[in-house]
Structure 1
Amino acid sequence: MPKNMRSKKYLTPAKTLTYGFAMIITIGTFLLTLGPSSADGQKLNLIDALFTATSATCVTGLVVVDTGSQFSLFGQIILMTLTQIGGLGFMTMGTLIALAFNRRISFRDRLVLQEAMNHNSMEGILSLIRRVMIYSLVIESIGALILAARWSFEMPFSQALYFGVFHSISFFNNGGFDLFGTIHGPFGSLTRYTADPIVNMVVMVMVFLGGIGFIVISDLVNYRSTRRLSLHSKVVLSMSTFLVVFGAIVIFAMEATNPATLKSMSVGEGIFASFFHSINSRSGGLSTLSVAQMKTSTQFLIIILMFIGAAPGSTGGGIKVTVFAVLVGTMYAMVRGKEDIVFFRKRLAKESVFKAITQTWLALFLVIFVAMILSVFEDRDFLVLLFETTSAFGTVGLSLDLTPTLKEISKVILSILMFLGRLGPLTLAYALTSRAAKDPFRYPEGKITIG
């Protein structure tokens, strides 16, 4: 067998995803360094371009330069394209193009799609990919039109329409990028729209839909005819709802007396803002309040929410809500002395438990290790460094105003972390190691003291 055939044969789905995202980031970095990408015509330095391209492709939203004032229309379109590709996945986009030209999708391509979508099987994967594109176009189009109509009261309609399209793609893909730097000041995010019900509702709905994943959206759309939801969808929806409500209650309780955030607002506005930040803390990365001025306890809660993240097969990151649910279920089963972990009268396979524990430990080790490395180069409180690190890993994009002031080496480190966070620690582990064959025997059981 020729050498190139052998190398192709061993290009696993995990490796394909890793190389694919790396290639897109490389192309995006090159395009952002070009003079026409900058508003002033000056080339963006390589490290800042790399960080921005990685943040867009990994749908994070952390920025070292203000998006609205730094980039020209050409540069903004590049970021919008990278965000769309990063959110849907390059394999999804490539498959849709292939289907449009009646190209055959190979078995190997289906394996990669299954890995990219975190789908349990290859059955119906192409049908799911088609639905992904339809759902994305419909949701983003509706969001763009509503936002354009709202912002047409503040700016010319052509600009409002462009803002609507850009931000709709950014919001649904949990990208976190905004263009209001030229209007409301650099790095302002959506702080001028704290009490705006239209902007807040559109953002919350789009971020939530992007965060629950396409498999769940498909289940919800088909529920009228099927009258059933998969176990995956039930776990994602119940756990996501719990985290949103719990996060909002805690944020409101802790920030209600903070004059820099909720104290000056009415109760209704405070509840609205609390729900907004609870939803965005797990993936969206948008803010209507200054996160840097929040209490330390609130910032730590946001770190936890960012670490948990969104659902598998979504545009968000983190360890995923299903992993968190499995960890909670495992703890509950152990405390109650039960042998099985049961959700909605379904018993989980042991493999799911081992995978959830492994993914959590890999993620925890990665976040803590990178935060420790950053503490060597950055003279800031460790909580600030941990916040920024978790935001990068969870592809969230919230910041305590540290990112724009980072040293070059720190930007490179966080770029790598965003890349790892988008792929997932387990996917990277699978890409770097070959699957070992099962042992033909089992060792005798031993016991150690626990607790």
Structure 2
Amino acid sequence: MTTKYLKNLSIPQQIAFGFFACIFVGAILLSLPISSSSGEFTNFIDALFTATSAICVTGQVTLNTAEHWSYFGKTVIITLIEIGGLGFMSIIVLVFVFMGKRLTLKQRLLVKEAVNTDNLKDAQNIIRYIIKFSLSVQFIGALILSIDFIPRFGFFKGVYFSAFHSISAFCNAGFDLFGNSLEGFTQNPLVMFTIAFLIIFGGLGFIVWRDVLNYKKHRSLLLHTRLTLKTTGFILLISFILLSFSEIRHGTFAELSIPNQLMNTFFMAVTPRTAGYANINYANVSHFGVFITILLMFVGASSGSTGGGVKVTTFATIALYIKAKFNDEDVRYGNRAIAKEKVSKAILIIFIGISMIMIATMLLLLTETIPKGFGIEYILVEVVSCFGTVGLTMGLTPHLSSIGKIILIVMMFAGRIGLLTFFISFSAHPDERRPLISYPEENILVG
């Protein structure tokens, strides 16, 4: 009965169900006494919040990861992060490859939707590439981090910490085992730059890296790759310049040398791209810096990556659309036109994203208490952080009410599986949604 029901689900519904199933299993494991350092049961709502944050590669935590969880619990978390970062479909395909089986048409359609690609024929090869590339980059990242962590923590703990933070950074998750994220590494270039570039590598997207690494073979790059690289570079440069001016003027890193101030400012420009590692308490960041961080979290990483947000190509498409409308021309990039369907999708994603953030913010303003000295940014950072699967906070997360936790769980879930996938999963099957009647058009006044 269950198998028949699953087969009847639409592709978006299957993706949503797959992620939900992983979250539920993870929450049960994390609620067990073996998962906590105290050997006691963990409140299920906190276990559910942590499992959602891990699968949705967010990093938002109601319980201190370093202190509350045992090594078993931490291993469950990092496993959920890996599943969430690569996508549960990657794990399923990996099992099929080991069993020597080929994917069915529906399974290839599921992979196509899950990794956000237009290529249906190459679905199985794409998953193989994602797994190989991800594990390779994570291994190299862990090796580099071990240069610092093994002498600092000893061999076994150092190896575990290196692997944990390499996976967490590449998957843009932001979970840490230090208790205060990376605030203790502000003068450590090896750790800071390694984490930063793991975040960038994971946030660019698997399709982009595959295209870049095959450039010698094809001597050309996809339009998606060129747009992603250019937009990502532009956002990183502009945000670094703006944050440099605001935070140096504000004195955020006043106790550090100029090179270290620039390094930490660069990290501040990188981590809101859905990673969530914090090198500073964001309660001490300037108002301008907080505002820029919110914008960066909203935009997020690239399509088909481990990150969240509305995605850089969505942002770029909207910018190209606005430019085209002012110049009364078709939406294009270089010498290629962008399909109207993609433009409409980008507009819809932006609209849904802003609407969700507004609704969640209003609800949290009703359910949560803002401490003295803070304003609406205390809530807004939390909401946008969960929406963009980032994990940054100004201190609200540990003090969330049960209703607040549920609201943010929904935000993280929607942000990870994709806004359109999230809402379509609640609707009827595609065949049942097709209208049987077309209506005559009539004009309305807008603007």
The aligned counterpart of 2:292 is: 301
The aligned counterpart of 1:283 is: 274
CA contact (8 A) 1:395 1:421 kept: yes
CA contact (8 A) 1:210 1:314 kept: yes
Q: What does residue range 30-429 of structure 1 map to in structure 2 within 5 Å? A: 30-181=28-179, 188-259=180-251, 261-338=252-329, 340-380=330-370, 381-429=375-423
* Aligned-partner SS, 1:152: helix
Give the Cα separation in 2 of the matches to 1:9 and 1:78.
29
* Aligned-partner SS, 1:128: helix
CA change 1:29–1:251 in 2 (3 A) is same
CA change 1:406–1:337 in 2 (3 A) is same
Measured after TM superposition, the shift of residue 136 of structure 1 is 0.8
Measured after TM superposition, the shift of residue 7 of structure 1 is 4.0
The one-letter code matched in structure 2 to 1:267 is I
The one-letter code matched in structure 2 to 1:123 is K
Give the Cα separation in 2 of the matches to 1:85 and 1:401.
27
* Aligned-partner SS, 2:274: helix
* Aligned-partner SS, 1:40: coil
Give the Cα separation in 1 of the matches to 2:307 and 2:413.
13
Give the Cα separation in 1 of the matches to 2:95 and 2:334.
38
Give the Cα separation in 2 of the matches to 1:301 and 1:223.
34
* Aligned-partner SS, 2:181: coil
CA contact (8 A) 2:6 2:14 kept: no
The one-letter code matched in structure 2 to 1:253 is F
Give the Cα separation in 1 of the matches to 2:364 and 2:392.
17
* Aligned-partner SS, 1:283: coil
* Aligned-partner SS, 1:154: helix
Deviations 1:358-380 (A, max 9, x none): 11111110011001000001121
Cα RMSD, aligned residues only: 1.5
Measured after TM superposition, the shift of residue 264 of structure 1 is 2.8
Measured after TM superposition, the shift of residue 4 of structure 1 is 7.2
Give the Cα separation in 2 of the matches to 1:4 and 1:311.
35
CA contact (8 A) 1:51 1:64 kept: yes
Deviations 1:133-152 (A, max 9, x none): 11011100001111112112
Deviations 1:22-64 (A, max 9, x none): 1010000000010010111111111111110100010000011
CA contact (8 A) 2:56 2:84 kept: yes
Q: Which runs of 5+ in 2 are unaligned?
A: none
CA contact (8 A) 1:143 1:168 kept: yes
The aligned counterpart of 1:443 is: 440
CA contact (8 A) 2:282 2:290 kept: yes
* Aligned-partner SS, 1:284: coil
CA contact (8 A) 1:257 1:263 kept: no
Measured after TM superposition, the shift of residue 245 of structure 1 is 0.9
CA contact (8 A) 1:309 1:319 kept: yes
Measured after TM superposition, the shift of residue 275 of structure 1 is 1.2
Measured after TM superposition, the shift of residue 95 of structure 1 is 0.5
Measured after TM superposition, the shift of residue 5 of structure 1 is 8.2
CA contact (8 A) 2:240 2:266 kept: yes
The one-letter code matched in structure 2 to 1:374 is L
CA contact (8 A) 1:60 1:396 kept: yes
Give the Cα separation in 2 of the matches to 1:114 and 1:135.
18
Deviations 1:380-415 (A, max 9, x none): 132111110000010000110110111122112111
- Return the TM-score normalized by structure 2: 0.95
CA contact (8 A) 2:57 2:306 kept: yes
The one-letter code matched in structure 1 to 2:241 is I
Give the Cα separation in 1 of the matches to 2:285 and 2:423.
36
CA change 1:5–1:46 in 2 (3 A) is closer
CA change 1:5–1:93 in 2 (3 A) is closer
The aligned counterpart of 1:184 is: none
Give the Cα separation in 2 of the matches to 1:219 and 1:266.
39
Give the Cα separation in 1 of the matches to 2:359 and 2:2.
37
Deviations 1:178-212 (A, max 9, x none): 1012xxxxxx1001111211111111111001101
Give the Cα separation in 2 of the matches to 1:154 and 1:4.
50
Q: Which runs of 5+ in 1 are unaligned?
A: 182-187
* Aligned-partner SS, 2:214: helix
Instruction: Answer with 88-97 or 218-227: which moved more.
Output: 218-227
Measured after TM superposition, the shift of residue 104 of structure 1 is 2.6
Give the Cα separation in 2 of the matches to 1:442 and 1:377.
43
CA change 1:69–1:228 in 2 (3 A) is same
The one-letter code matched in structure 1 to 2:365 is S
Deviations 1:300-354 (A, max 9, x none): 111111011111111100111111011101111111222x111121101110111
* Aligned-partner SS, 1:180: coil
The aligned counterpart of 1:185 is: none
Give the Cα separation in 1 of the matches to 2:436 and 2:342.
20
